[in-house]
Structure 1
Amino acid sequence: MFALVVRFDLTDQSAASKFDALVERTAAGIVEHEPGTLVYSTHPVVDEPLARVFYEVYADRAAFEAHEEQPHVKAFLAERGQYLSATRVEFLSDGPAKGLPAGPGDE
């Protein structure tokens, strides 16, 4: 598996609303066209109204790369910057998990 967590900090409430609408459009494309995207979960952060966290799990690195090439994802990447004050991306290694498909050697 290939996983990452992304934190987006938004500039203001108007930007947050527009970013959330962009995320909704993008997520619809992910659900429809990305079988290798196993988890794509987006969350507002409690007590931080201008922060969003995404948790993403892909079947493998190739599935992530295919995700990045999708038209809906390219549109998201092109548009998101105008709403953001900061972004933090953290790539994750495999670890114990519940609810995710077993990775190689986890059987």
Structure 2
Amino acid sequence: MFGIVVRFDLQDEAAAARFDALVAEVLPGIRSEEPGTLVYTTHHVKDDPLARVFYELYRDEQGHADHEARPATAAFLHEIGPLTRDVRVEFLTDVDAP
């Protein structure tokens, strides 16, 4: 498996509202059209109203590559660029993987 945690720090409340709307648009397609995406969940951060965290788990690195190759993903990433003030990406590995 291949995992990613992404934290988005948003510009302001208007940016957060727009970001959430964009997530609501793209999320159903990720969950229904990406067989290599095992988990794709989004979170608000308690006590930090301008932060969002995504937890993404893919079958393998190809599953992630397939996700990144979707036009809807590219459009989402393009749209959120101006809404964010910082993005932090953490790539995860299994501690019990062979």
1:85-104 pair list within 5 angstroms: 85-95=85-95
Q: Are 2:52 and 1:47 equivalent residues in the alignment?
A: no
1:1-107 pair list within 5 angstroms: 1-95=1-95
* TM-score, normalising length: structure 1: 0.87
Distance 1:95 1:40 in 2: 20
Distance 1:95 1:73 in 2: 28
* TM-score, normalising length: structure 2: 0.95
Structure number with greater Rg is 1
Between the two proteins, the alignment pairs up a number of residues equal to: 98
Secondary structure, counterpart of 1:94 in structure 2: coil
Over aligned residues, Cα RMSD in angstroms?
1.2
Structure 1 vs Structure 2: percent identity of aligned residues? 54
More helix by share: 2
Structure 1 stretches lacking a partner, 5+ long = 97-102
Question: After the TM superposition, which parts of structure 1 deviate over 3 Å for at least 4 consecutive aligned residues?
Answer: none
